[in-house]
Amino acid sequence: MGATVYRSKDSPPRTLVRYWPQIGRESVSFWSSADFALIAGGIKPFADSAGETHHLIMGWGNVEIEQLSNLRATAGIEYEAPEIPEFPAGPATFKILGGTASTESLIRIQSLHDLFNNNLAELTTAYQGREQARLNREAYLKAHPPQPKDITLNFWRIGGGTPVKGSAQ
């Protein structure tokens, strides 16, 4: 699964997700009102409503819409934010982007959203802990920058040619 969380100061986070069910099956793209940054920390295997157990492997990233727009504007490039659908207030839900998803895929996507909705407090706490650990690590590295190590680089030329100036023959 791949997810891009779009953040804006004017609206809650929205996630564009691409889900690859299994090898040989068609991928499914959908928008979600769930903040997949909370899910990305590694949820445990979960069971869907059909009773099947699933493991989630996900690559994800954040896009700060205003920040990206300003950055591109300084380079003279216009940023066109994606068209994010409206979602009702309340529990996280999703909207499939075009095409039709298999019943099996819909069950898995809904189960993931149910997991998000039922465990939102725990997911939020875990995310905040990861964020605090990241900030602590950045502060530590800023206060104690790693010292470069002396290295010895051994090399040799392959084939003929002239020796490198200053090297031993």
For residue 135, being part of any structural domain is answered with no
Band (pLDDT 50/70/90 cuts) for residue 166 is: low
23: Cβ contacts below 8 Å, ≥ 6 apart: none
Domain count, the chain: 1
Full residue range of the structural domain in which residue 23 is found: 2-119
For residue 144, being part of any structural domain is answered with no
pTM given for the model: 0.76
For residue 163, being part of any structural domain is answered with no
Whether residue 40 is predicted with pLDDT greater than 90 in this model: the reply is no
> According to the model, what pLDDT value does residue 27 have?
85
Band (pLDDT 50/70/90 cuts) for residue 46 is: confident
In the DSSP assignment, the letter for residue 167 is -
For residue 145, being part of any structural domain is answered with no
For residue 127, being part of any structural domain is answered with no
Q: What is d(CA 55, CA 46) in angstroms, rounded to the nearest whole number?
A: 7
